[in-house]
Structure 1
């Protein structure tokens, strides 16, 4: 394979990978010697000069990343919108908001399903945070909401959450809706109604 083709293939690999790719891994895929990988990375770096992406060296591997000067625009795109949060995400946020600090096993017990994927996503989006470990066997992490969660839902503090009666896990009928989720949805709706027309996002038809 020609050098320019290798560089293009390297660009594709770094683009689709969810984690930094180590030189040895790239060497195996591109079928080149390990020492050639650094040269190809350098060529790709020159190719991307003046573009929005650049090659970064992270955790012993290579990855594509947006340039710092575009961080504000990227952040606006990735900033979560309550209307775009999934039902599962809203449910997890609601339970944590009302019962924090809470462990993931406790969260799973309340929801009846594994919540690890949703929790990790909400942590990445700065809506949940880890506050420590519970003093129980296994020492699971304790979860709580963030200041960004409050601002996103128009809450001054947690006392602004609608008041509800929280049933114990064993007292809730099977498949019954969680009162926390309904209350958070009400808070979200109130926040949306308080927005001025200029602040609202037009709906596409």
Structure 2
């Protein structure tokens, strides 16, 4: 195939798919058994999209590639789905999912020990949503099931691999920054309230 044909074929495949396609899959579909510089083709396409100020690009996510809209067009895309039922993960589910993501493979007892509450229902929800899977059995007493995340988990959070997860230290730094920001806002609020009270007292004294 000519380079332009390869580029058009890759673009067509990525428009048509509803799941990420990895390089091996794309090469097998486009190259007719011969290796094709698919990553280079994708880089060229993304460069064209950027120069033409297109609303979409090819994202590397979930171990593969998929078309995605740019974040600044999110408000318009959301309007398209208004009225459709969207089931979001509960805080409890997100908490359990975070534990599994960072501790995997992990057994239910360890998840419950960290959360402090039973997580049977939450695990069932995450399994039904395809965000976690059973990876095997532990060697511990009773050989309990081990849980880990799936490729759908990566796509759900826009990650290419588990190595893209923030490190615990980074999370703690972000939380610390958030706490400091909240403290600054609280202090500023107190200062404004205090200065307002002082002005009120001055007005009362001046009226006397």
Q: Same fold (TM over 0.5)?
A: no
* Alignment TM class, shorter chain as reference: 0.3 to 0.5
- The structure richer in helix per residue is 2
- In the superposition, the TM-score normalised over structure 1's length comes to 0.41
- In the superposition, the TM-score normalised over structure 2's length comes to 0.41
